[in-house]
Chains A and B, each alone.
Chain A
Amino acid sequence: AQSVSQHNHHVILSEAASLELGCNYSYGGTVNLFWYVQYPGQHLQLLLKYFSGDPLVKGIKGFEAEFIKSKFSFNLRKPSVQWSDTAEYFCAVNAGWSNYQLIWGAGTKLIIKP
């Protein structure tokens, strides 16, 4: 079955450290890729998305992600994290094979130490 894997369930970093959260999906073909974020006590919200074009996409709050088709990956990056980045991050994929329903990763809880 098609799946989305997020390699790290918990990540703890200090402020100003660089961040990379991994996301891999299991099926080829044309895909749409998303990262959503859930800050403590807040709604899930879109962080960034890739549909086509430049594989390096930029989102809110200084986040970016790179789509590497050959590796079936869409890793999330931020060069210097802040305490306010503490949140849970979800990678999601949809495509024709999922009837355009989002297939979600299990999420990564990120804790930034001040």
Chain B
Amino acid sequence: KAGVTQTPRYLIKTRGQQVTLSCSPISGHRSVSWYQQTPGQGLQFLFEYFSETQRNKGNFPGRFSGRQFSNSRSEMNVSTLELGDSALYLCASSLDGQTGANVLTFGAGSRLTVL
């Protein structure tokens, strides 16, 4: 079956702009999580959605937001971009992220460069 699909794969923006990233989870997976990956920082958790509701949120400013649609597809938005937002943004899906036994399946990521 198809994996987790993220679009776009690469994008370049300038400071002050906003960006929207998209994630299509594996069919049947209802939980979608977003992470920011930067060199030396590892993976930082942004938020997790399940059935169109945000269940968990990491320690990121309000400029970072997301949503999930009825078909489980998810988008994240970053407004007023800063240079420090340059990173690989990863989406991961699982059947139900609210139990410890769930394994995440990751997409290839969207690499954002802010100039």
- Which A residues contact B (CB, under 8 angstroms)? 9, 31-32, 34, 36, 43-46, 49, 51, 90, 94-96, 99-102, 104-107
User: CB-nearest residue of chain A relative to B4?
Assistant: A43
Determine the chain B residues whose CB is within 8 A of the CB of A101 once the complex forms. 33, 45, 48, 56, 97
User: CB-nearest residue of chain B relative to A1?
Assistant: B59
Judge whether B108 and A43 touch: CB under 8 Å: yes
With beta carbons under 8 angstroms apart, the residue of A32, A43, A46, A99 that contacts B101 is: A32
- A-B CB contact pairs (8 Å), 12 listed: A43-B3, A43-B106, A43-B107, A44-B104, A90-B42, A99-B98, A100-B97, A101-B48, A102-B43, A104-B45, A105-B42, A107-B43
Determine the chain B residues whose CB is within 8 A of the CB of A45 once the complex forms. 106
Interchain nearest-CB distance for A58 vs B (Å): 16
What 1/0 mask marks residues of chain B from 100 to 115 whose CB sits below 8 Å from any chain A CB?
Answer: 1111101111000000
Near A by CB (< 8 A), chain B positions 71-115 give 90, 92, 97-104, 106-109
What 1/0 mask marks residues of chain B from 8 to 44 whose CB sits below 8 Å from any chain A CB?
Answer: 0000000000000000000000000100000011111
**A32-B100, A43-B106, A106-B40 given. 18 additional CB < 8 A pairs?**
A36-B104, A43-B4, A43-B108, A44-B104, A44-B106, A46-B104, A49-B103, A90-B43, A96-B100, A100-B99, A101-B45, A101-B48, A101-B97, A102-B45, A104-B45, A105-B42, A106-B42, A107-B42
The main secondary structure of chain B at its interface with chain A is loop
Judge whether B104 and A102 touch: CB under 8 Å: yes
Judge whether B42 and A95 touch: CB under 8 Å: no
Determine the chain B residues whose CB is within 8 A of the CB of A34 once the complex forms. 103
Judge whether A95 and B40 touch: CB under 8 Å: no
With beta carbons under 8 angstroms apart, the residue of A44, A49, A106, A107 that contacts B90 is: A44
Determine the chain A residues whose CB is within 8 A of the CB of B45 once the complex forms. 101-102, 104
User: CB-nearest residue of chain A relative to B55?
Assistant: A99
A34 to B106, CA, bound (A): 14
Judge whether B100 and A51 touch: CB under 8 Å: yes
